[in-house]
A = this chain, B = another copy of it.
Amino acid sequence: MVEHESDKNLTLLLKAMSDSTRRALLTQLCQQGASRVTDLANYYDMSLNAISKHIKVLEKAELVTRKTIGRTHWIEANIQQISLAENWFKELKSIWELRLEKLDEIMKNGGPNND
Protein backbone atom coordinates (compact mmCIF):
# COMPACT_ATOMS: atom_id res chain seq x y z
CA MET A 1 0.00 0.00 0.00
CA VAL A 2 1.41 3.38 -1.09
CA GLU A 3 -1.91 4.56 0.27
CA HIS A 4 -0.68 5.63 3.71
CA GLU A 5 0.49 9.17 2.96
CA SER A 6 -2.59 10.22 1.00
CA ASP A 7 -4.76 8.65 3.66
CA LYS A 8 -3.08 10.85 6.26
CA ASN A 9 -3.68 13.90 4.10
CA LEU A 10 -7.33 12.97 3.75
CA THR A 11 -7.59 12.65 7.52
CA LEU A 12 -5.97 16.06 7.94
CA LEU A 13 -8.32 17.58 5.39
CA LEU A 14 -11.53 16.12 6.78
CA LYS A 15 -10.58 16.89 10.37
CA ALA A 16 -9.82 20.47 9.35
CA MET A 17 -13.22 20.83 7.69
CA SER A 18 -15.07 19.12 10.52
CA ASP A 19 -15.01 22.18 12.75
CA SER A 20 -17.77 24.75 12.37
CA THR A 21 -15.53 27.77 13.02
CA ARG A 22 -13.00 26.59 10.48
CA ARG A 23 -15.74 26.09 7.88
CA ALA A 24 -16.91 29.63 8.58
CA LEU A 25 -13.35 30.87 8.10
CA LEU A 26 -13.13 29.12 4.75
CA THR A 27 -16.43 30.62 3.66
CA GLN A 28 -15.24 34.05 4.71
CA LEU A 29 -11.99 33.61 2.81
CA CYS A 30 -13.84 32.56 -0.33
CA GLN A 31 -16.08 35.61 -0.07
CA GLN A 32 -13.47 38.18 0.81
CA GLY A 33 -10.34 36.80 -0.77
CA ALA A 34 -6.97 37.08 0.94
CA SER A 35 -7.45 38.43 4.46
CA ARG A 36 -5.33 39.25 7.46
CA VAL A 37 -5.58 37.13 10.59
CA THR A 38 -6.84 40.04 12.69
CA ASP A 39 -9.55 40.92 10.17
CA LEU A 40 -10.76 37.34 10.09
CA ALA A 41 -10.77 37.15 13.88
CA ASN A 42 -13.02 40.21 14.23
CA TYR A 43 -15.99 38.18 13.02
CA TYR A 44 -15.83 35.65 15.84
CA ASP A 45 -16.64 35.67 19.51
CA MET A 46 -13.30 34.10 20.23
CA SER A 47 -9.77 35.25 20.94
CA LEU A 48 -7.38 36.16 18.15
CA ASN A 49 -5.16 33.32 19.32
CA ALA A 50 -7.94 30.77 18.86
CA ILE A 51 -8.45 31.96 15.28
CA SER A 52 -4.71 31.92 14.69
CA LYS A 53 -4.67 28.27 15.76
CA HIS A 54 -7.63 27.41 13.53
CA ILE A 55 -5.84 28.98 10.60
CA LYS A 56 -2.80 26.89 11.33
CA VAL A 57 -4.95 23.76 11.18
CA LEU A 58 -6.37 24.84 7.82
CA GLU A 59 -2.85 25.58 6.63
CA LYS A 60 -1.58 22.12 7.60
CA ALA A 61 -4.47 20.63 5.66
CA GLU A 62 -3.49 22.88 2.75
CA LEU A 63 -6.94 24.40 2.68
CA VAL A 64 -5.39 27.84 2.97
CA THR A 65 -2.06 29.37 2.06
CA ARG A 66 -0.19 32.16 3.81
CA LYS A 67 1.82 35.00 2.37
CA THR A 68 3.72 37.03 4.95
CA ILE A 69 4.44 40.65 4.06
CA GLY A 70 6.11 42.57 6.80
CA ARG A 71 4.25 41.92 10.01
CA THR A 72 0.97 41.00 8.39
CA HIS A 73 0.09 37.51 7.21
CA TRP A 74 -2.24 37.28 4.22
CA ILE A 75 -4.37 34.15 4.33
CA GLU A 76 -6.03 32.85 1.21
CA ALA A 77 -8.39 29.93 0.59
CA ASN A 78 -7.08 27.06 -1.51
CA ILE A 79 -10.28 25.39 -2.64
CA GLN A 80 -8.42 23.05 -5.00
CA GLN A 81 -7.57 20.96 -1.98
CA ILE A 82 -11.22 19.98 -1.60
CA SER A 83 -10.76 17.64 -4.53
CA LEU A 84 -8.89 15.28 -2.21
CA ALA A 85 -12.15 14.64 -0.38
CA GLU A 86 -14.22 14.69 -3.55
CA ASN A 87 -12.03 12.03 -5.09
CA TRP A 88 -12.48 9.81 -2.08
CA PHE A 89 -16.26 10.23 -2.29
CA LYS A 90 -16.11 9.34 -5.95
CA GLU A 91 -14.06 6.23 -5.25
CA LEU A 92 -16.43 5.12 -2.53
CA LYS A 93 -19.41 5.59 -4.80
CA SER A 94 -17.80 3.65 -7.62
CA ILE A 95 -17.11 0.77 -5.23
CA TRP A 96 -20.75 0.89 -4.22
CA GLU A 97 -21.93 0.95 -7.83
CA LEU A 98 -19.66 -1.93 -8.75
CA ARG A 99 -21.34 -4.14 -6.17
CA LEU A 100 -24.79 -3.14 -7.40
CA GLU A 101 -23.82 -3.98 -10.97
CA LYS A 102 -22.57 -7.38 -9.95
CA LEU A 103 -25.79 -8.05 -8.06
CA ASP A 104 -27.74 -6.99 -11.14
CA GLU A 105 -25.73 -9.40 -13.24
CA ILE A 106 -26.55 -12.25 -10.90
CA MET A 107 -30.25 -11.38 -10.94
CA LYS A 108 -30.33 -11.42 -14.73
CA ASN A 109 -28.27 -14.53 -15.35
CA GLY A 110 -29.36 -16.54 -12.37
CA GLY A 111 -25.91 -16.66 -10.84
CA PRO A 112 -22.29 -15.71 -11.34
CA ASN A 113 -21.25 -19.12 -12.80
CA ASN A 114 -23.57 -19.69 -15.75
CA ASP A 115 -20.97 -20.20 -18.48
Contact = CB atoms under 8 A, between A and B. Distances in A.
Interface of A: 7-8, 10-11, 14-15, 17-20, 23, 26-27, 30-33, 77, 79, 82, 85-86, 88-89, 92-93, 95-96, 98-99, 103
How many copies of this chain does one complex carry? 2
Contacts of A77: 96
B30 A95 contact: yes
A89 B99 contact: no
B31 A7 contact: no
17 contacts: A7-B20, A7-B23, A8-B20, A10-B23, A11-B18, A14-B18, A18-B18, A27-B92, A30-B92, A30-B95, A30-B96, A30-B99, A31-B95, A79-B92, A79-B96, A85-B85, A86-B89
Nearest to A18: B14
Contact of A99 (B15, B33, B98): B33
